[in-house]
Each structure stands twice: as structure tokens, then as C-alpha cells.
A and B are shown apart, each in its own frame.
Chain A
Amino acid sequence: MDNSFFTSFPNVLISTQEANELIERIDTVLAELYRIDPQRMLHILAENMHAPIVNALEYTLSQDTIKTSNQQVIKTFLQRLQGTIRSCEVLSMTIAFPPTQAFLTHIGAYAKQLFGASTILEITVDPSVLACGIFIYKGRYLDRSVKKRLEEYFTFKKVSRS
């Protein structure tokens, strides 16, 4: 199995939602491995995933090394893929609006560019933050929400008045 697949695969993962779903599907496939053919396995893994993930999996699973391998090789491949996904760094973001796929793609790419290819986004939607958001990465906490700015403004007003 080519190591470059596992090295480059986190590039196509954007969110923890995708990562968790993929891990669950891999568990399902591993449980049914003795009776699943590669095409069906691809269908289970890639269904409703966004295009880059589907393409990466499709390309890999179409390789002869997988098609002709026995179940143990496929099992090892899938377990290693799970490990790769679990080792991704999580960037938590609380934003005010439900993200579109385009937004996730842009911000995901930007985050990977800033923090590394294995960075994936954990998105929480909270309209009370109003705009921008709250971010946590490797224990660092940054609240750049407009809600906090407003609270600071009114707290300052109260203190200066009293």
C-alpha cells in the first residue's frame, strides 16, 4: 500500500462530522468484511461524502493492490485509514450561521494552509455569537465574536457610569 495515500488523505477531510461518519462506516465495513466486495465497500464508505473524499477513495479502491488483496490486507488498510483520520488535529469553531459546503471548503483549505494539512474543523452553530466566532485549537482559546465585543462595551459603560 502506498504511504502517500495516508499522508495526503487528511487534505480531503474538512470537518469532524465527516471524519466521524467515515470512521463509523469503516467500522461497519470491517464488521461485514468477509462478505463485502470492493465495489460495495466503496459505496458504503463514499456515499454522500463530498467529492474529494469520494475521488480519493474511489481511486485507491480501484487499484489492483486492493482488488486482488485478501481480506486481511483490506482490513489493515481500513484500520490504518481510521488511525490516520483519528490523528487529525481538530480546530473548533463556533459561528453564527449554518455553514454551506462552499464555506466549509474555503475555510477548511485556509485552516490547512495555516495550521497544517491534518487540520479538520469542528463546527458549532450558535446564532448568539452574531458574527465572526469562537475558536479553539490545541488548547488555545480565542473569542472574536461580536457578542463578546458588545458585552465588553456594555460592561465598560456600566463601570464607567458607576
Chain B
Amino acid sequence: MIIYIFLIVTLVLLLLGLLFILYRHSRTLHELQMLKEQNKKMKENSDARSAKSLAKVQEETEEIILQANKKAADLLAEAKLFSSDERELLQHKLSGIVDGQVEAFSKINELLNKEYQAELDKTKKEAIDLFNNVSQSINETANKEIIDFKTTLEEQTVNSEKMVTDRIEEAYKKVSDEIAEYKKNKLAEVDQTAGQRMHEIANYVLGNGLSIDQQEVLIQSALQELKKQSGQ
């Protein structure tokens, strides 16, 4: 009976442990899902920022082109007023301005690309760090809780074993005491019965078996012993 109780307690504890592990697993999956969503949002934000930067670049470029076109139109308008030499000179100046604007645009584009790439790398690194930190935190928490659960389970198991051992020892001691008491009572009963029987047998044998003369011999022997004791 006590062994069955011990087995049932152990099974219940194992079932509780399994449920706890399932619960932790579900919670970890949920957190992982949340992290994925967070990462996705961060990526979307990053893309939005990139798109914004590109739009800004495009806008600035368009502005530059518009200014360049405007300046070119002004130059063309002025060109009509100058000679062919002057027109060549103007053409040369205009080419120089366009080349300079293209170069400036390239520099701006390169700079913005670098900034975008740096921003993207930074965001990516932050996301990875955050993910690593969260993952490590979850791992540590889960490990700690599993260790706690393991310790608790071990303690419960040890306590259950000790309880069962104590109860078995208690039951054994009780039974031993009862057996000892029973044995003592039985022996006393046997002693009393045997004593009575021996007394009856001795009485019967000696009472009927010893003659007066034999009794007299025994008594004389005892009187001699008494005389030796009294020192007469």
C-alpha cells in the first residue's frame, strides 16, 4: 500500500514537471514570435527611413537639376545676345557647370549611400544585439527555472522516499513490538502452565513416590547441614 502511494506521488510529480516544461516551451515560442515581429517592424522602419533618404536625395537632385536648367536657360538667353566666340565660351562654361553639378551629385549620392549603409548596419547590429540579449535572457531564465524545478523535484522525491521509509520503519517497529509483547505473554503463559504442570507432576511423583523413610533420610541430611551452619 505504501509503495503504491509512493509510485502515485512520483507520477504526479513527473506529470507536474512535464506540464511545467510544456508551459515554458510555449512561453519561449511566444516570446520568439514577438521578437520576429519586432525585427520585422524594425526592418520596415529601416526601409521607410531608407526610402525617405532616397526621396530626399531625389528631391535635392531634382532641385539641383532645376537650378542647373534654370541657370542654363539663363545662359542660353544671354547667349543669344553674345557672339559665337562668346557662345563657345559660354558653352564651355556651361559644360564645366554641368560637370561640377554631376560631380557634386555623385558626391552627395555617395555620402547618402554611406549614411544609409551605416544606418542600416547600425540598425541591424542593434536588432541582432537585442535579439541575442533577449535570447540569452530567456535561456538563462529558462535554465534557472528548470534547475529550480529539478531541485524541487529532487527534494520532493527525497522527501517522499524519506516519508515512505519513515512510515515503513514505524510500521515495522510497531509490528516488532507487538510480536515481542505477544512472545513475552505467550512465554509467560507457557511458563505458568509448565510450572503448574511440573508442580503437579512433582507433587504426584514425590508425594506418592517417597516413603516416610526416604523423607526421613532427606530431613536428617538437612539437619546435618543446619548443624554445620549453626557451627555447633
Contact = CB atoms under 8 A, between A and B. Distances in A.
Given A110-B220, A142-B222, A154-B198, A97 B215 contact: yes
Counting contact residues on chain B (CB < 8 A from A), the size range is: 20 to 34
Contacts of A110: 220, 223
A95 B202 contact: no
Counting contact residues on chain A (CB < 8 A from B), the size range is: 20 to 34
A33 interface: no
B192 to A, nearest CB: 10
A133 B191 contact: no
A138 interface: yes
A114 B194 CA distance: 40
Nearest to A138: B230
B223 A131 contact: no
A103 B207 contact: no
Contact of A96 (B215, B221, B229): B215
B23 to A, nearest CB: 63
A142 B194 CA distance: 27
Contact of B216 (A106, A140, A150): A106
Interface in B87-146: none
Given A103-B212, A135-B226, A115 B218 contact: no
Contacts of B223: 91, 107, 110-111, 114, 135
Contacts of B232: 114-116
Nearest to B224: A114
A127 interface: yes
A113 to B, nearest CB: 10
A109 B134 CA distance: 122
B218 A132 contact: yes
Interface of B is mostly: helix
Contacts of B215: 95-97, 103, 131-132
A132 B194 CA distance: 23
Contact of B203 (A115, A127, A161): A127
A95 B218 CA distance: 11
A89 to B, nearest CB: 10
B225 A130 contact: no
Contact of A131 (B187, B195, B210, B229): B210
B187 A161 contact: yes
B227 interface: yes
A66 interface: no
Which among A127, A131, A135 has the greatest number of chain B C-beta atoms within 10 A? Answer: A131
Interface of A: 91, 93, 95-97, 100, 103, 106-107, 110-111, 114-116, 127, 130-133, 135, 137-138, 140, 142, 144, 146-147, 150, 154, 157-158, 161
7 contacts: A95-B215, A97-B215, A106-B216, A114-B223, A114-B232, A154-B194, A158-B191
Leading 5 A-B pairs by shortest Cβ distance: A144-B222, A132-B218, A131-B206, A142-B226, A140-B230
